[in-house]
Amino acid sequence: MIVSAYSLGLSLLILGPLLGPGYLLLRDAVSTPRSYLSDAALGLSDAAARAVPQDWLLAIVSTAVDGGLAVKAILLACLWLAGTGAARMVRTLLPTATVGPQLVAVTVVLWNPYIAERLLQGHWSLLAGYAALPWTVCAAVAIRRGARWGWFVLAACAAGAGLTPTGALLAAATAVAVLSAPGGLSRRSARLLGTLALFVASSAPWLIATAVSEGAAEGSDPAGVSAFAARAEPGLATVGSLLGLGGIWNSTAVPDSRTTVFAVVGTVVLLAVVIAGAPALWRRRRNPVIGALAVLAAAAILGPTIGATPWGLSVGEWAVQAIPGAGLLRDAQKWVALAAPLYALAAAAAVMRRQFTPAWSAAAALAVIIALPDLVWGVGGALTPVRYPDSWNRVATILEEDSRPGDVAILPAGMFRIFDYTGQAPVLDPAPRMLPRDVLQTGALPVAGGTVAGEGARAEDVERVLLSGGSAGDLGDLGVGWVLLEHRTIGELGDSASTLEQLDSTYADANLTLYRVNGDVAVDSASATDRVAVLTAHALWAVLFVGGLIGAGVLALADQRQRKLQKNRRDES
C-alpha cells in the first residue's frame, strides 16, 4: 500500500498541471476531444504506421469519454504502473528487500531524464512501453518458475507496451533477454517461441498496416539517422548522457537543468545511487535474470553511443534505406529505457544492507529527486494543458455532416504549428486527430540543420499543387475535397492564394478557414479488404490486453487459494 501510494504521489507530482482542464498539445503529443477511425488512424495511409493502435484506441474510447481525459488517464496510469512495477520487480528478484529499497527503485524509475525528455517531446504513449518493462521482467521470471499466470501477464505487457511499435520492441527485447537466460523449469526454446508469438500477435496492428500500406516497401530518409542520434549534454560525452538516462536528440525538449553543467551533477548523483548497489548485484551474479538485465542495460547504453559515431551513423543510414521498418531504430536514445530495470534493481540493492536504516533509503530517493529538480509539476510547467478555439469543433461538424467524398489538405505547409494558445514550443498540427476525415500530411520533420523527409507521397503532391497555385481540378484528381487554412501560425503559403480563390469558403473566422473543392473528387481510400485485415489485427491486440489482465487475475487468485488450502492442511496436520 505504501509503495502504491508513493508511486501515485510521484506520478501526480510529475504530471501536475496537465491534470487540470484542457488538452495535451506539446510537440509530438496531440490530444483532442474526439478522434475518428480514419485510414490514417488505422495506419492505412502512405505514411509510416507509427501511431497504431494508439490512434485506434483513442478513436474508440473518445466515442464515450472525452479524448483529452482519456490521454491523461492513460499517462497517469503508465507512470503509476512503472513505479509499482519497479517495486514488484525488486520484491521478485531481491526477496529480502523491505519497503525502503522498493521506494528507492520507484524513485529511480520515475524521476529521471528519460521520463522528463519523453514528456517534453510529447511521447506520452511511448511511456506505456516503458511502464511495461518491470512488469515484463516479473512475468518472464514467473514463466521461468513455471507459474501459469506469467503468460497472461506477459500477454498484457506485450499489448500494453504495443500501444506504439517502439514500445512493443522495448518489451519484446526485455522478455527475450530474461527468457533466453539459462535455467528455469520450462524449456528455453518453448518459452522463447511462445514469447515471440505473443509479441507478433500484439504487434499485428502496425505489422499488418505496414504490409498493406502504399509506402510499406519504401525506406526512410537517411538524414533522419544523424538528426535523431543521441546527443551529448553540457559537460558530458554522449555515453555520459546516456548513462544518466538522458541525451535525447532534440536539445529543446530537455529540462532546463539538463541544459547547463548541472547535467553533470544530476548524472553523477543518479549513477552514484545505482553504482552503490553494483557490489550487491555482483554477489548475485549467478542469478541468470540479473545477468540478463545487466547485458540488456549495457547494450542499451553502448548501442546508441556507437550509433552516434561516424561509423554507426553510416551503418544506420544504410539500414533505413535498405531494410523496411529500420526507421523505427533511428531515434536511438529511446532504447536507453532498457537500462531502467537494472538501474532500479541496483538502486534498491544499494540500501539493503542491515546497517542501513530507513533514513538511508529516504536520503537516496531524495538525492535522485534533487538531481532533476525541474521534473516537478509538469517538467517546470511545460505540461500545461491548452484549450482549443471553438473553430475546430465547428469545422469538424461541417466535415462530419457533409457526405461528399474527399480528404482534407492543410495550409500552411508543414506538420508543426505555433498557435497563440500553445506557447512557444512547436506542436503537431491537431487537424489529423481533430477532424473526421483523412488529413493529408507529408510527414516531413523540421530539425536543426534541415528537414527529414516523410513518407506521404500523395500529401507531397497535394502540397506542391497548393504552393504553386495549382488548379482546383488538380486537387480533386488527388482526392482532395477540402482545404483547411490555419491562421496565426508558422508555415509556408507560397502561391496558394491563387488556388484558394478557385474554392468555396464554407467557414471562416480568425482561427480557421475551410474551403470546399467543387467538381469531381477522386476517391482515394484503403480497400475494404485492407480495412478488415487491420481492424481484425486491432481486435486481436485488444483481446490480448484484456484477456491477459483477466487471465492473470483469475489464475493468481486460484494460486493464492491453493496456497491457502495447503497452509491450512499443514496447520491441521
Give the pLDDT confidence of 102-160 residue by residue, as tens digits. Answer: 999 999 999 999 999 999 999 999 999 999 999 999 999 999 999 989 999 999 999 99
When comparing pLDDT for 569 and 196, which is higher? 196
Per-residue model confidence (pLDDT) at position 355: 66
Asked if 145 contacts 184 with a C-beta cutoff of 8 angstroms, the reply is yes
Summarize pLDDT for 348-358 with one digit per residue, the tens: 999 998 667 78
Provide the percentage of residues in the chain whose pLDDT is more than 70: 97
Domain boundaries, the chain: 2-381, 391-516
Per-residue model confidence (pLDDT) at position 219: 65
Q: Helix 188-202 vs helix 149-161: angle between axes, to the nearest 10 degrees?
A: 40
Residue 526 banded pLDDT, cuts 50, 70, 90: confident
User: For 569, left (φ over 0), alpha (ψ -120 to 50), or beta?
Assistant: alpha
Asked if 475 contacts 517 with a C-beta cutoff of 8 angstroms, the reply is yes
Determine the 3-state secondary structure of 20 from DSSP: coil
User: Bridge partners of 485?
Assistant: 411, 513
Residue 94 banded pLDDT, cuts 50, 70, 90: very high
Q: Which helix (H) or strand (E) holds 552?
A: helix 528-572
In the numeric block, the cell 509499482 is attached to 84
Summarize pLDDT for 38-76 with one digit per residue, the tens: 999 999 987 778 899 999 999 999 999 999 999 999 999
Asked if 482 contacts 409 with a C-beta cutoff of 8 angstroms, the reply is yes
Summarize pLDDT for 187-241 with one digit per residue, the tens: 889 999 999 999 999 999 999 998 887 555 566 788 889 999 999 999 999 999 9
Per-residue model confidence (pLDDT) at position 215: 54
Summarize pLDDT for 420-445 with one digit per residue, the tens: 999 888 999 999 999 999 999 887 78
334: pLDDT strictly greater than 80 = yes
Determine the 3-state secondary structure of 439 from DSSP: strand
Residue 481 amino acid letter: G
Summarize pLDDT for 226-284 with one digit per residue, the tens: 999 999 999 999 999 999 999 999 999 999 999 999 999 999 999 999 999 999 999 99
Summary count for the chain: helices (H), strands (E): 25, 10
Summarize pLDDT for 403-415 with one digit per residue, the tens: 999 999 999 999 9
As to burial, measured by CB atoms within 10 angstroms (0-12 exposed, 13-18 middle, 19+ buried), residue 315 is middle
Determine the 3-state secondary structure of 480 from DSSP: strand
When comparing pLDDT for 25 and 572, which is higher? 25
Determine the 3-state secondary structure of 302 from DSSP: helix
Nearest of 140, 128, 126 to residue 88 by alpha carbon: 140
Residue 541 amino acid letter: W
State how far the Cα of 373 lies from the Cα of 400, in Å rounded to an integer. Answer: 46
* Cell numbers at 29, concatenated: 503529443
Per-residue model confidence (pLDDT) at position 503: 97
- Residue 565 CB neighbours (<10 A): 10
State how far the Cα of 455 lies from the Cα of 437, in Å rounded to an integer. Answer: 19
Per-residue model confidence (pLDDT) at position 450: 67
State how far the Cα of 304 lies from the Cα of 296, in Å rounded to an integer. Answer: 13
Arithmetic mean of pLDDT, 301-310: 97
Determine the 3-state secondary structure of 427 from DSSP: strand
* Cell numbers at 171, concatenated: 518489451
Residue 541 banded pLDDT, cuts 50, 70, 90: very high
Residue 573 banded pLDDT, cuts 50, 70, 90: low
